[in-house]
Amino acid sequence: MTHIIWLASYPKSGNTWMRSLLANLTAAGERPADINMLGRKYGTASSRGLFEDQTLLDSGLLTDDEIDAMRPDVYLAWADQLRDRRDDPFVMKCHDAYTRLPGDRALLGNSVARGAIVVVRDPRDVALSFADHRGASIDEVIDLMCDPSAAVGRSVRAQRPQLRQCLLDWSGHVLSWLDQKDVPAHLVRYEDMEADTIAILAAAARFAGFDVTRDQAAKAARLSAFDALRNQEQMAGFTEAAKDRSFFRRGHSGGWRTALSRAQAERIETAHRRTMTRLRYAI
Amino acid sequence: MLFYSVAGLVLASEVPLAGRIPLPQAAEAAAIVRLADIPDPVSGSTVTGPNWRAGKGELLLSIPGLASFLLVDGKEIRVRPASGGRLDDAAAFLTQNLLGLLMQQRGRIVLRASSIAIDGRAVLFCGDPAAGKSTVAAAMAARGRPVLGDDFCTVDWGADGAILIHGDSGCPMLWTDSIEALELGSAAGAAVRPGCFKYHVRPPACASDGLPLGTIYFLGEDRRVETHRIGRPRGMKAVQAIRDSVYRPRALATAERRLRTFEAAARIARQAPMFSLARTSGFDWIDEGLNAVEIGWNGAPERRGSP
Distance from CA of A73 to the nearest CA of B (A): 5
**Model confidence over B10-22: pLDDT tens digits?**
999 999 998 888 8
Distance from CA of A153 to the nearest CA of B (A): 12
Q: Residue B76: its pLDDT value, please?
A: 96
CB contact under 8 A, A48 and B66: no
B-chain CB neighbours of A44 within 8 Å are none
Q: Does position B83 have pLDDT exceeding 80, yes or no?
A: yes
Rounded to whole angstroms, the Cα distance separating A147 from A150 reads 5
Q: Does position A152 have pLDDT exceeding 90, yes or no?
A: yes
Listed in sequence order, the residues at least 6 apart from A246 whose beta carbon sits closer than 8 Å to its beta carbon are: A230, A233
Q: pLDDT-based confidence at B307, cuts 50/70/90? A: very low
Question: For the residues B106-116, what does the mean pLDDT come to?
Answer: 94
B-chain CB neighbours of A232 within 8 Å are none
Q: Does position B298 have pLDDT exceeding 70, yes or no?
A: no
B-chain CB neighbours of A84 within 8 Å are none
Distance from CA of A93 to the nearest CA of B (A): 19
Question: For the residues A102-112, what does the mean pLDDT come to?
Answer: 91
Of B49, B198, B222, the CB nearest to A56: B49
Question: For the residues B176-196, what does the mean pLDDT come to?
Answer: 92
Q: Does position A93 have pLDDT exceeding 50, yes or no?
A: yes
Contact B51, B61 (CB under 8 A): yes
User: Closest Cα to residue B173, out of B143, B150, B154?
Assistant: B150
Q: Does position A244 have pLDDT exceeding 70, yes or no?
A: no
B-chain CB neighbours of A76 within 8 Å are 50
Q: Does position A229 have pLDDT exceeding 90, yes or no?
A: no
Rounded to whole angstroms, the Cα distance separating A215 from B96 reads 52
DSSP label at residue A101? -
Our CA dihedral for A245, A248, A252, A254, rounded to 10 degrees, sits at 30
Distance from CA of A108 to the nearest CA of B (A): 13
Q: Residue A107: its pLDDT value, please?
A: 97
CB contact under 8 A, B50 and A54: yes
B-chain CB neighbours of A161 within 8 Å are 128-130, 221
Q: Residue B303: its pLDDT value, please?
A: 45
CB contact under 8 A, B129 and A76: no
Of A59, A157, A158, the CB nearest to B129: A59
Q: Bigger pLDDT: A32 or B142?
A: B142
Q: Does position A165 have pLDDT exceeding 50, yes or no?
A: yes
Q: Tell me whether residue A87 is exposed, middle or buried, using C-beta atoms within 10 angstroms of its C-beta: 0 to 12, 13 to 18, 19 or more.
A: exposed
Q: Tell me whether residue B41 is exposed, middle or buried, using C-beta atoms within 10 angstroms of its C-beta: 0 to 12, 13 to 18, 19 or more.
A: exposed
A-chain CB neighbours of B198 within 8 Å are 60-61, 159
Rounded to whole angstroms, the Cα distance separating B150 from A259 reads 48
**Model confidence over A201-217: pLDDT tens digits?**
999 999 999 999 999 99
Q: pLDDT averaged over chain B?
A: 89
Distance from CA of B212 to the nearest CA of A (A): 27
Rounded to whole angstroms, the Cα distance separating B82 from B230 reads 46
Contact B231, B223 (CB under 8 A): no
From residue A112, how far is each of A5, A51, A193, B289, B291 by CA, in Å? 9, 15, 27, 43, 47
Q: pLDDT-based confidence at A251, cuts 50/70/90? A: low
**Model confidence over B52-62: pLDDT tens digits?**
999 888 999 99
Q: Residue B42: its pLDDT value, please?
A: 66
CB contact under 8 A, B250 and A54: yes
Find the helix or strand (DSSP H, E) in which A48 lies: helix A48-55
Rounded to whole angstroms, the Cα distance separating A274 from A170 reads 12
User: Closest Cα to residue A135, out of B206, B106, B253, B282?
Assistant: B282
CB contact under 8 A, B193 and A156: no
Rounded to whole angstroms, the Cα distance separating B226 from B305 reads 5
Q: Residue B302: its pLDDT value, please?
A: 45
**What share of chain B has pLDDT > 70, as a percent?**
94
B-chain CB neighbours of A61 within 8 Å are 92-93, 96-97, 192-193, 196, 198
**Model confidence over B201-249: pLDDT tens digits?**
999 888 877 899 999 999 998 877 888 999 998 888 888 999 999 999 9
CB contact under 8 A, B176 and A157: yes
The per-residue DSSP string of chain B comes to -EEEEETTEEEEESS--TTBEEES--S--SEEEEE----SSPTTEEEEETTEEEETTEEEEEETTTEEEEEETTTEEEEEEPTT--HHHHHHHIIIIIHHHHHHHTT-EEE-EEEEEETTEEEEEEESTTSSHHHHHHHHHHTTPPEEESS-EEEEE-TTS-EEEEE--B--EEEHHHHHHTT-GGGEEEESSTT-SEEEE--S-BPPS-EEEEEEEEEEE-TTSSSEEEE---HHHHHHHHHHTBSSGGG--SHHHHHHHHHHHHHHHHHS-EEEEEE-SSSTTHHHHHHHHHHHHHSSPPP-S--
**Model confidence over B44-82: pLDDT tens digits?**
667 889 999 998 889 999 999 999 999 999 999 999 999
Q: Does position B131 have pLDDT exceeding 60, yes or no?
A: yes
Pairing of strands B109-111, B58-63: unpaired
Q: Nearest chain A residue to B220 by CA: give it.
A: A161
pTM of the model: 0.92
Q: pLDDT-based confidence at B305, cuts 50/70/90? A: very low
Listed in sequence order, the residues at least 6 apart from A182 whose beta carbon sits closer than 8 Å to its beta carbon are: A98, A106, A110, A111
Q: Residue A97: its pLDDT value, please?
A: 98
Which of B198, B228, B229, B284 should be substituted to probe chain A, the one whose Cβ sees the most A Cβ atoms within 10 Å?
Answer: B198
A-chain CB neighbours of B51 within 8 Å are 55-57, 70, 73
Question: For the residues A110-137, what does the mean pLDDT come to?
Answer: 94
CB contact under 8 A, A56 and B130: no
Q: Bigger pLDDT: A38 or B50?
A: B50
A-chain CB neighbours of B128 within 8 Å are 48-49, 161
CB contact under 8 A, A70 and B221: no
Q: Residue A122: its pLDDT value, please?
A: 98
